[in-house]
Amino acid sequence: MPPADFMKSIQGRADGLIAEYVGASAPGASLLMTRDGFVYERAYGYRDAENMIPADANTKYMAASITKQFTAAAVVKLAARGVLSLDDALSAYFPELPGWKGSVSIRSLLNHSSGIPDYFDANFLEKYAAGDVQDGDSAAMSVISSYRELKFAPGTEHMYSNSGYVLLGEIVEKVSGRPFHDFARDELLIPAGMKDSVFLCSGKRPEGSAKGYSAKPDKRGFAEVPFNRALAGWADGNLCATARDLCRWHEALSASSVLSEYEQERMCSPLVLPDGAKTGAGFGLFIGERRGLREIWHTGSVPGYASRFSRFPSLPDGGSAAVILLCNADISCLDGLGSLFGQIVRILLEDVMAPVRRSPPERSVLEKITGRYVSALDGELMCEVSPEETGIRALGSLRGFKNGLRAFFAGTKPGSGEAFFYAEDGSDIAMSFTGDSMTVDDVGRTTRLERESGG
């Protein structure tokens, strides 16, 4: 564990970062950092900006996709009891689904390799904004049931899909005979001591939770986001939690008091595709490496809220750590959340992080990779790469790229000529280029894009 004076310095440095990135651009946030018994916890701004009600340690936020690790944990616990198998086909639980149900397994839902399209897309969000999503359990399932075909054969590719976790929540209910929110509360939240958190079962915002905000169309100020069932979500994102409770979850996992070591190992084994490509996708989690440290993490993002929760279970000094950041403003206000989070992690763990080595930029390499890249699986994901004096600038629709991400050249891989770049902003996003392909690694979550012809 670092010396006491190092720990004391964290407060001022963290507060400065939050003030720069969140205080100036968002209604509020809660930050919690813990390492080997040391805990730093602080709330900033307002949970209700109109009425100027400050956020505090008891403020709940929509955790959004951070929920997925709890849903996965519920499924893994049921598998350990022998009441379901991770290799069960969906046809055993959903005879009403289209013909693809027989080829999709529970396992492929857990690691996002099912090929089922994501119901939570631009069309669904438009319906949400118009108030056309009803406060019932069938809204997401009706969209999922309408898909006539998969994006790819299950297990052959990785594509993030909220649809899979809606289905997993339904499976938990069918197998346990209890509503998902009740099962997850009794089997996960209560044993972990998460007394201030709740899995929502309606579109009503819990008392004491933070109101969510988005940037106004002219970017001048914020507008409250109406709360309904689409925002509350299902088992893909319906946890409303405090930062302190997520810390309790970290502690319970570290002690193996809620999930056994074997169950956690199942959740944290990353998907490797048939062609050998690594995805970093576990069950409801991503597993990656940040500056030499193993990181188990997930983000959360819905209209009005953005969050990130990372665990570092095995530090070089024998300890462990976690960083939790919950915001009641969404990525329309906080495109730089990855950068902010990365810098906070460095404040806490810089003494055990490996250095990133820079190499002089090679102009021929920079010119060779210039172009427009798109995802074959998700046409909405694209990136424009242009050379700069010390590296590249990447601008696109990937998370953290909206305002342009500058990256420095870190060398090429002998033999393959694969060129590597690392983000300048502290987010620890890595980009690599080989042939006409671009791979973006967000500390384990991997996105592959191909250069457009003529790019």
Same domain membership, residue 425 and residue 279: no
How far is 369 from 364, CA to CA, in rounded Å?
9
Is residue 25 scored above 80 in pLDDT?
no
pLDDT tens-digit series, residues 433-444? 998 999 999 888
Q: Which of 327, 352, 377 is the last residue of a domain?
A: 352
What are 353's two structure tokens?
Answer: 């992080």
- Among 352, 371, 392, residue at a domain's last position: 352
The SS3 assignment for 180 reads helix
User: Is pLDDT at 8 greater than 60 in this prediction?
Assistant: yes
Residue 420 forms beta bridges with which residues? 411, 432
For residues 174 and 106, membership in a common domain is answered with yes
- Note whether residue 9 is domain-resident: no
What are the structure tokens assigned to 449, written together?
A: 């894009």
**Chain segment 50-66, per-residue pLDDT in tens:** 898 999 999 999 999 99
From 352, 377, 407, the end of a domain falls on: 352
Place of tokens 């906080």: 334
Q: Are residues 164 and 213 both part of a single domain?
A: yes
In a domain, 23, yes or no: no
Could you tell me which residue, 125 or 34, shows the higher pLDDT?
A: 34
C-alpha distance across the termini of the chain, in Å: 49
pLDDT of residue 53: 92
The CATH number of the domain holding residue 395 is 2.40.128
One domain, residues 346 and 388: no
Q: Are residues 299 and 226 in the same domain?
A: yes
Q: Look up the CATH number of the domain holding residue 318.
A: 3.40.710.10
CA separation (Å) from 372 to 1, 334, 363? 45, 24, 18
Which of 127-131, 179-183, 222-226 bottoms out in mean pLDDT, i.e. has the lowest? 127-131
Closest among 14, 8, 9, 114 to 324, alpha carbons compared: 14
Residues 443 and 414 in one domain: yes
Mean pLDDT of 132-155: 85
Q: Are residues 338 and 376 in the same domain?
A: no
CA distances from 237 to 1, 43, 115, 364 (A): 34, 22, 19, 45
Q: pLDDT tier at 194 (50, 70, 90 boundaries)? A: very high
302 lies in the same domain as 369:
no
Q: What is the pLDDT of residue 3?
A: 58
CB atoms within 10 A of CB 409: 20
- At residue 426 the predicted structure's pLDDT band, cuts being 50, 70 and 90, is confident
How far is Cα 28 from Cα 49, in angstroms, rounded to an integer? 8
Q: What is the pLDDT of residues 364-407, one digit of tens each?
A: 889 899 999 999 888 789 999 999 888 999 999 888 888 899 99
Domain assignment present for residue 13? The answer is: no
Residue 2 banded pLDDT, cuts 50, 70, 90 = low
Percentage of the chain beyond pLDDT 70 is 95
- Mean pLDDT across 229-238: 89
Q: Do 88 and 147 reside in the same domain of the chain?
A: yes
> Do residue 372 and residue 293 come from a single domain?
no
Do 122 and 156 belong together in one domain?
A: yes
Mean pLDDT in residue range 419-444? 90
Range of the domain at 333: 64-352
- pLDDT at 408 > cutoff 60: yes
Query: Phi and psi (nearest 5°) for 420?
Result: -115, 140
Same structural domain, 339 and 437: no
- In sequence order, the 6+-apart residues with CB closer than 8 A to the CB of 119 are 140, 143, 144, 162, 163, 166
The H or E element that residue 128 is part of is helix 122-129
Is residue 131 situated within a structural domain? yes
3-state helix, strand, coil in the chain (%, to 5): 30, 25, 45
The number of domains in the chain is 2
Asked if residue 197 has pLDDT above 90, the reply is yes
